[in-house]
Each structure stands twice: as C-alpha cells, then as structure tokens.
C-alpha cells in the first residue's frame, strides 16, 4: 500500500494518479470526503485524517509499504509555526512507531538551513524530525512552485503590473511545476533499488531559471497585453501581505523567506543533492491557470445571464 498525504493537493494528486497508473494500491489521505471524491474515482482508498490528531495519522499509515508525507503550511492559522511544528511532531511520532519500508518527505530548497529562511525553516524541522525514522528515507526538495505566481496573476492582468518580492527584477531563481514534483515523487517511491545513503536528498527544479522580468514577459505574451514587473519596496512587503489577508506571523515568514531568497540562500544544496529537472515550462503552467480562470469567468457569466433571463 502506497499512502499519500496531501493527496488532494497539486503534488499529491499527481503522485497518486501516477502510482495508480503503475498498478499500485494507493491510500489517499485527505481532510474530508469531498476532497476524496476525484481520488476515489481513479481507484484510491480514501482515508480522512487530521495531521494534528495522532490517532487518525496512525490509522492512515497502517499497513503502508511506502508513505509520501506532506505537512502543509497552515495559511489561515494565527500561529502557523507552532501549528505546523505540531503537525510534524504528530506525523514523525506515528512514523517512528510504525515505520514503512519507504518514506518520502516533500521538502523545499534551502531546508538545510536551521534559521533565517522563514517558511523554509519549517521544512528543516520536518527533515530533522523524520531523520530517525527507520525507513529508506528520501527528502524531495523542490524549488519555488510555479503556480504560486497564480496569487498575483489577477493583479497583473487587471493593472498591467506584476508585483515581485524577488529583488532585483533581473535576478534568476529556480522554479518548478507541481506536476513535475508529483511525478518525480512517485518515481522515487517506485524505485526499489537499495539507496546508497539514507536520508537520500533529491532536488528538482525546471529546466530554465527565470527572473521576475521573464515572468512578466511570459504572462504578457499569453494574455496579449503589456505587463511590467514591479519591485515591491522592502518596506511595503508587510502591508502588501496583510492586504492579501495574511496574518502578522505568516507575513513575517514570507518576508524572511524572500530576504533569504534575495540573499542567495534559497537554492539547491548541490554538494549532497541528486539533481533532477522537470519538463514543464512556466509558460505552460501560466497557460493552464489562465485557461481555468477563463473557464470560470465564462461559467459565471453564463449563470448570471441564465438567471437574468429567467427573472424576466
């Protein structure tokens, strides 16, 4: 049994589907039945679990040959650091008590640093807590996910300005498509060859690094309009993040992360990492986001038109 935590997410959903295509039994761990519906359609067993609940996590990994572990940053939480550390502790305790033969943890570039990297320090903590688990252990460290830019695409399309915390705008940084992370995770879980080292550290990023200038140009080409990258001044970061709905503690994690990015601390740990490269270009990811947004807009317009007609 292959157990996938976060199976409803961008990475986990791809991993689960790839494992099912390979003929493996998959238990998809999700937060509720609604999330599990699509996964059940492809033949996954569905497990409902709360990462803060030791009993449900222990139940989810029963009988597992392999586990893909994801501890997500709790975006709506007033104290995301404390909550995510609790999730990590609960998961690590369950895995130490009942270790699967293979364990893959989804981590981040920069996770080798114990401090000073914002959100990424939480993935350092994840790796530290999972290291004692008696499994063949792999840390899959991913670069910044391309779809994260989706949060600011509506602003860019509406105003013709793409806000960026990457400084300077010409600085190139690694990114990766979530689907490529999910496919590689499944490939690594299916690799039955004995690992030369444990934990095994594997990194993944896209074939080409990009800058904020590149991101604005690519988006403009897809949207058929002029979009300019804008370097958000450091002193305005917190206010912008608060305006986007993030609490003070979460905003601080983001600002610390981008300070580390801009200082060159968030990158592949090339000395120990096996390097892999995804095949998906950032233009393909943006095109898919824009297509979904267009479909949603069309559906909303159709529903509004239908309702107006019916009311006449």
d(CA 189, CA 43): 18
pLDDT at position 186: 98
DSSP string, 289-301: HHHHHHHHHHHHH
Q: How many residues does the chain have?
A: 312
Q: What is the pLDDT of residues 14-31, one digit of tens each?
A: 999 999 999 999 999 999
d(CA 12, CA 221): 30
Which residue ranges form the domains of the chain, and what is each CATH number?
2-145+175-205+266-279 (3.40.50.720)
Of 8-22, 245-259, 265-279, 289-303, the least confident = 289-303
Contact predicate 267/204, CB 8 Å: no
Q: What is the band of 12 on the pLDDT scale with cuts at 50, 70, 90? A: very high
Q: What is the band of 74 on the pLDDT scale with cuts at 50, 70, 90? A: confident
CB atoms within 10 A of CB 87: 22
pLDDT at position 300: 39
Q: What is the pLDDT of residues 180-208, one digit of tens each?
A: 999 999 999 999 888 788 899 999 999 99
Q: What is the band of 11 on the pLDDT scale with cuts at 50, 70, 90? A: very high
Write down the pTM of the prediction.
Answer: 0.92
Identify the bridge partners of residue 30 per DSSP, sorted by sequence position. 48
Report the pLDDT averaged over residues 54-72. Answer: 97
d(CA 192, CA 198): 14
In whole numbers, what is the pLDDT of the chain averaged over residues? 92
d(CA 19, CA 185): 10
* H helix or E strand, kind and range, residue 181: helix 178-190
Q: What is the band of 309 on the pLDDT scale with cuts at 50, 70, 90? A: very low
pLDDT at position 197: 84
pLDDT at position 168: 97
136 or 301, greater pLDDT: 136
Residue 304 has pLDDT above 80, yes or no: no
The CA-based diameter of the chain, rounded to the nearest angstrom, is: 72
pLDDT at position 295: 53
CB atoms within 10 A of CB 96: 14
């Amino acid at each position: 049994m292959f157990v996938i935590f976060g199976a409803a997410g961008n990475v986990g959903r791809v991993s689960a589907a790839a494992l099912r295509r390979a003929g493996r039994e998959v238990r998809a761990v999700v937060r509720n039945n609604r999330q599990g519906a699509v996964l059940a359609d492809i033949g996954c067993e569905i497990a409902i679990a709360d990462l803060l609940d030791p009993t449900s996590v222990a139940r989810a990994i029963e009988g597992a040959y392999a586990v893909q572990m994801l501890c997500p940053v709790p975006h709506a939480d007033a104290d995301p650091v404390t909550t995510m550390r609790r999730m990590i502790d609960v998961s690590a305790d369950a895995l130490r008590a009942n270790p699967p033969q293979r364990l893959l943890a989804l981590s981040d570039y920069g996770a080798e640093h114990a401090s000073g990297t914002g959100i990424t320090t939480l993935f350092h903590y994840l790796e530290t807590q999972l290291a004692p688990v008696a499994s063949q252990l792999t840390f899959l460290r991913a670069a910044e996910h391309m779809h994260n830019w989706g949060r600011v695409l509506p602003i860019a399309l509406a105003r013709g300005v793409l806000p960026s915390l990457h400084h300077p705008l010409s600085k190139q940084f690694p990114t990766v498509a979530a689907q490529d992370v999910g496919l590689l995770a499944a490939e690594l879980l299916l690799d039955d060859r004995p690992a030369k080292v444990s934990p095994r550290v594997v990194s993944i990023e896209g074939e080409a690094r990009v800058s904020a200038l590149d991101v604005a140009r690519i988006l403009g080409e897809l949207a058929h309009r002029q979009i300019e990258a804008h370097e958000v001044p450091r002193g305005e970061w917190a206010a912008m993040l608060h305006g986007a709905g993030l609490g003070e503690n979460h905003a601080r994690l983001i600002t610390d992360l981008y300070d580390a990015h801009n200082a060159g601390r968030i990158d592949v740990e090339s000395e120990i990492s096996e390097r892999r490269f995804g095949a998906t270009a950032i233009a393909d990811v943006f095109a898919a986001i824009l297509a979904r947004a267009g479909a949603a807009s069309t559906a909303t317009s159709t529903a509004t038109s239908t309702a107006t007609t019916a009311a006449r």
